[in-house]
């Protein structure tokens, strides 16, 4: 692997994200190299990652992005309606005197409602989206990666003639699961922990997610385009969301910028607005808020450089609710 450096300033991160001389890191190429080195067949995994636009560049990226954008636009109204039906129950869910895990009782069902509303009717093995996300984790065990590879192979075999179309739909599910669910959970925890004991109806809710589940994204220099002394081929980890940034800067990079800006921005913003509107009608308070993560949240530049996964993977958000 090439060396990884950190671009931790807003201006540098934004510049690199918009630069034509810096491209996403190809995860498919990484699995090609692993397969060649170990003599393993990762072709199903490679085929999937060759269809995820966040890892693509050029004409293929534009083609897949257009397909995904059309599907999201077609599902938008259904997704908003499904989200609204579930979110309007949130004040009732937060009943005084109860303790619950908001990930299991609210965030996960919310994502399931959004995913089912896209009406793709895919046959997806339970847990496959999470398993695919784990393929991005540099610490994942090889046998786990191979097991997920076989799940993707079975998914392709269900309808080989339409495999790419189905993989694009699967990719939409994968790309939405952790970023949206994680950002909702992290943002709720941030709000709750900063306002313990205060009526939820009295809080000043931000218009955007105050915390992102995607604090960084990687870009690789191509050709002769050194920046800040870097060499071609060097990977730069751009910081998208940081306590060092202003609210306006975090809002600007929340969904990325340039040709790889998040396709799910509209529905994500709509969902957050629905959640904060529902919370503003709740008369209860949060007495405690405890977050459980797959890995510790990055706090320092070194933490950001050493993240084994590009996402912050949330396991649970346990809240105690008072009157």
Give tens-digit pLDDT for 173-192.
888 778 899 999 999 999 99
Tokens of 56: 């693509």
Give tens-digit pLDDT for 254-302.
999 988 999 999 999 999 999 999 999 998 999 999 999 988 889 898 9
CB neighbours of residue 230 within 10 Å: 19
Domain count, the chain: 1
CATH of the domain at 200: 1.10.630.10
User: Using the 8-state DSSP alphabet, how is residue 105 labeled?
Assistant: I
Assign residue 127 a region (left: φ > 0; alpha: ψ between -120 and 50; beta: otherwise): left
Bigger pLDDT: 232 vs 116: 116
Mean pLDDT value across residues 227-243: 73
212 vs 214: CA distance, rounded Å: 5
Confidence (pLDDT) at 121: 63
Confidence (pLDDT) at 235: 86
Confidence (pLDDT) at 248: 95
Q: How far is CA 230 from CA 14, 61, 62, 183, 216, in A?
A: 17, 25, 28, 31, 18
Q: Which helix (H) or strand (E) holds 261?
A: none
Confidence (pLDDT) at 120: 61
Confidence (pLDDT) at 227: 40
Confidence (pLDDT) at 124: 78
Q: Would you call 245 helix, strand, or coil by DSSP?
A: coil
Residue pointed to by tokens 């997610």: 209
Instruction: Taking each helix axis as running N to C, give the angle between helix 265-279 and helix 59-87, from 0 to 180 degrees, rounded to the nearest 10.
Output: 20
Give tens-digit pLDDT for 119-136.
566 777 878 888 998 898
Domain span including residue 147: 4-322
Percent of the chain with pLDDT over 70: 95
Phi and psi angles of residue 297, each rounded to the nearest 5 degrees, phi first: -65, 140
Confidence (pLDDT) at 138: 81
């Amino acid at each position: 692997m090439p060396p990884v450096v950190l671009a931790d300033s807003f201006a540098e991160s934004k510049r690199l994200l918009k630069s034509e001389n810096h491209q996403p890191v190809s995860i498919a190429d990484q699995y090609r190299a692993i397969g060649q080195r170990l003599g393993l067949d990762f072709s199903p995994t490679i085929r999937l990652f060759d269809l995820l636009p966040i890892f693509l560049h050029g004409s293929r990226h534009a083609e897949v992005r257009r397909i995904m954008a059309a599907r999201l636009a077609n599902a938008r109204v259904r997704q908003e309606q499904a989200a609204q039906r579930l979110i309007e129950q949130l004040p009732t869910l937060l009943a005084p005197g109860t303790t619950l895990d908001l990930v299991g009782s609210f965030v996960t069902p919310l994502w399931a409602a959004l995913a089912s509303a896209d009406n793709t009717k895919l046959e997806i093995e339970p847990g496959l989206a999470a398993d695919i996300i784990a393929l991005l984790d540099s610490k994942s065990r090889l046998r786990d990666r191979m097991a997920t590879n076989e799940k993707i192979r079975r998914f392709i075999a269900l309808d080989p003639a339409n495999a790419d179309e189905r993989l694009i739909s699967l990719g939409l599910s994968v790309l939405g699961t952790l970023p949206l669910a994680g950002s909702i959970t992290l943002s709720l925890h941030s709000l709750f922990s900063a306002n313990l004991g205060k009526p939820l109806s009295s809080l000043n809710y931000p218009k955007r997610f105050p915390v992102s589940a995607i604090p960084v994204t990687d870009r690789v220099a191509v050709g002769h385009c050194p920046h800040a002394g870097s060499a071609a081929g060097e990977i730069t980890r751009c910081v998208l969301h940081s306590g060092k940034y202003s609210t306006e800067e975090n809002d600007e990079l929340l969904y990325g910028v340039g040709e790889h800006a998040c396709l799910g921005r509209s529905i994500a913003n709509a969902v957050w607005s629905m959640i904060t509107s529902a919370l503003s009608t709740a008369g209860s308070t949060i007495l405690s808020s405890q977050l459980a993560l797959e890995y510790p949240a990055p706090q320092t530049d070194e933490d950001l450089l050493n993240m084994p996964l590009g996402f912050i993977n949330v396991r649970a958000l346990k809240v105690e609710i008072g009157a």
